[in-house]
Structure 1
Amino acid sequence: MTAIVAGRATPAASPSRRRSSRSRRAGTTVARTAALWSASIVLGLAFWSFLAWWYGPTTMASPTAVVSATAELWQSGVLGNSIQASAGRILVGWALGVVVGAPVGIVMGRVNVVRQLLDPYIEFFRFIPPIAFVTLAVVWFGIGETSKIVLIFYTSVFIVTVSTIAATVATSENKLQAAANLGASRFQIMKTVVLPSTIPGIVTGARLAMGNSFLTIVSAEIVAANAGIGSMIWQARNYGRIDWTFVGIITLGLMGFLFDRVLRVTSRKFLGKYGVK
């Protein structure tokens, strides 16, 4: 094929050439992103080292001290057990919150009577922080895993519910009318129109709930847990190990980053056709 440019015919770019050009641009973008990330990390470590030097080891642990403390805690098994305990509690409580919150949000968004009945409770409890219920959770469910999981569930379920309600209410009225005019039943409309349009909102709520789960787990583990990142941070306070505290904080950040990335990539892969990005 040819293209007319300035009064003369020029050969159009072949599909293989266009694919090669896109591949080069994608490679350049990845390389630029990696370079910026690396520069950001190097600058952050340099600034951290300066602060550690300025304030001293009793106030600010240096990067090298944190690396040594990480190796110490890992070899003793404390860090590995803490990560496993906290990750398990977060995943179970968060998953329960998504499984319950998404259907409740869809029903509340579609059925006005249900929404009017449940809305006062949703609006009341979602403003009470989970840490306010830590003592009650321990009294009601004991110091075992159940109390921590219940608190994570409490953190997650309201966020997912509210996000799902908003996505359900925002469903295009034209699509609903078109499906009804074509003879679709209420169940078919729910399955083919409402649910696909709410999936991006559910994923957004799930991501927000995951972040809040990390906020809650530390409080719960500090109060009633023998293992977990929160418990490890509390033990660091008792032993005066500022470097252990830094290890716990950095571990929480890395865990959250990893969990969110996995959720984003998985959602994009399996739910991308519904507009999840």
Structure 2
Amino acid sequence: MTELTALGKSPAPAARRGPRRPRRATALNLTAVVLGLAVWTLLASIGVQGLPGPLQVAAKAGELIADGTLLDDALASLRRVLLGCLLGTLLAVPIGFLMGWYATARGLLEPYVQFFRTIPPLAIIPLAIVLMGIGEVPKVFVIFLASFLSSVVATFQGVVDVDRTLINAARVLGASDRTIFLKVVVPASTPFILVGMRVGLGSAWGTLVAAELIAAQEGLGFRMQQAQLYYDLSTIFVGLIAIGLLGLLMDRLLLLAERRLTGWQERR
């Protein structure tokens, strides 16, 4: 008999409560989607500024899927976002660790990070065009910048917020700085890094439409801009929904990775 049972507390209710929260969250999510579609249908039915209804948008999405346009645009946008986010994260994490672990690096790098963090990545587009041309490089660069700034600040804050008690305890036990960094600082900073990646991913998708204004020939942002010229609201809605779904899917994957990598954290 376990101690829990000996105290007269049955573990069964706690075990039963485990799966209930995800089920309740899923039910609430589905309810929100249904309510959103109902409100959208209502607004379209009363003719709000020519707003297309869900069925009209679904029909347009079917056309774009059938001729391959939506798939090509989605793949082009996804490639740019993934490349920009990957490069941004790969550079941001080591810089964030340097800033958080070494006071000298913090003093040298923090002014630049904070300066560029106040400049919207969209404001860099004219400069990127002049310096990098109109190919793929400036598009990826502005997306990279959006994800980099979010990730570097999150990583830096994660290192700074590591509990000093853990570091001091490791030093008392004879751990070297390298061991402390790898065994204490990196694991404790991982939740911050992953949150920074999620924020950076949102910023990257938010920058995508403007980035694809740089002489793009394909992409969801490009397709939406073309549809704007012809007042094709259905295509614009298809682009918006595609961006939202892709962004949501990528965010859920990062959230899953966060739960796997930070399973030691106490959660509510």
TM-score for both structures, normalised by structure 2: 0.91
SS in 1 for 2:83: helix
Question: Is the Cα–Cα contact under 8 Å of residues 134 and 214 in structure 2 kept in the other structure?
Answer: no
Query: What do you get for the CA RMSD once the two structures are aligned?
Result: 2.4
User: CA separation of 1:11/1:180 partners in 2, compared to 1, >3 Å: closer, same or farther?
Assistant: closer
* 1:33 is aligned to 2:25: yes
SS in 1 for 2:50: coil
Trace 1:14-25 onto structure 2 (pairs within 5 A): 18=12, 21=13, 24-25=16-17
- Cα distance in 2 for residues equivalent to 1:270 and 1:30: 19
* 1:236 is aligned to 2:222: no
Report Cα offsets for 1:86-121 as digits up to 9, x if no partner: 111111110111111111111101111111111111
- Cα distance in 2 for residues equivalent to 1:176 and 1:10: 37
User: CA separation of 1:104/1:275 partners in 2, compared to 1, >3 Å: closer, same or farther?
Assistant: farther
- Cα distance in 2 for residues equivalent to 1:136 and 1:239: 29
1:164 to 132, 135, 155: 155
* 1:86 is aligned to 2:77: yes
Identity of aligned residues (%): 37
- Cα distance in 1 for residues equivalent to 2:116 and 2:9: 62
Question: Is the Cα–Cα contact under 8 Å of residues 101 and 158 in structure 1 kept in the other structure?
Answer: yes
Report Cα offsets for 1:22-77 as digits up to 9, x if no partner: 56444544443333222222211111011112235x63111111001100111121
2:88 to 91, 97, 100: 97
SS in 2 for 1:272: coil
- Cα distance in 2 for residues equivalent to 1:245 and 1:132: 24
Instruction: Give the aligned partner of residue 167 of structure 2.
Output: 176
Trace 1:40-59 onto structure 2 (pairs within 5 A): 40-55=32-47, 59=50
2:256 to 261, 265, 274: 265
Instruction: Give the aligned partner of residue 54 of structure 2.
Output: 63
In the alignment, residue 40 of structure 1 is paired with which amino acid?
A
User: CA separation of 1:48/1:179 partners in 2, compared to 1, >3 Å: closer, same or farther?
Assistant: same
TM-score for both structures, normalised by structure 1: 0.88
Instruction: Give the aligned partner of residue 211 of structure 1.
Output: 202
Question: Is the Cα–Cα contact under 8 Å of residues 156 and 209 in structure 1 kept in the other structure?
Answer: yes
User: CA separation of 1:78/1:117 partners in 2, compared to 1, >3 Å: closer, same or farther?
Assistant: same
The structure with the largest alpha-carbon Rg is 1
* 1:245 is aligned to 2:236: yes
User: Quick check: 23-32 or 198-207, which moved more?
Assistant: 23-32
User: CA separation of 1:52/1:164 partners in 2, compared to 1, >3 Å: closer, same or farther?
Assistant: same
User: CA separation of 1:220/1:2 partners in 2, compared to 1, >3 Å: closer, same or farther?
Assistant: closer
Instruction: Give the aligned partner of residue 149 of structure 1.
Output: 140
Instruction: Give the aligned partner of residue 176 of structure 2.
Output: 185
Offset of residue 243 of structure 1 = 0.5
- Cα distance in 2 for residues equivalent to 1:241 and 1:176: 59
Unaligned segments of structure 1, at least 5 residues: 4-8
User: CA separation of 1:205/1:71 partners in 2, compared to 1, >3 Å: closer, same or farther?
Assistant: same
Question: Is the Cα–Cα contact under 8 Å of residues 196 and 274 in structure 1 kept in the other structure?
Answer: no
- Cα distance in 2 for residues equivalent to 1:275 and 1:106: 24
- Cα distance in 1 for residues equivalent to 2:19 and 2:251: 24
In the alignment, residue 40 of structure 2 is paired with which amino acid?
W
- Cα distance in 2 for residues equivalent to 1:137 and 1:168: 32
SS in 1 for 2:218: coil
In the alignment, residue 169 of structure 1 is paired with which amino acid?
V
Instruction: Give the aligned partner of residue 6 of structure 1.
Output: none
User: CA separation of 1:129/1:276 partners in 2, compared to 1, >3 Å: closer, same or farther?
Assistant: farther
Offset of residue 240 of structure 1 = 2.0
Offset of residue 143 of structure 1 = 2.3
User: CA separation of 1:2/1:270 partners in 2, compared to 1, >3 Å: closer, same or farther?
Assistant: closer
SS in 2 for 1:222: coil
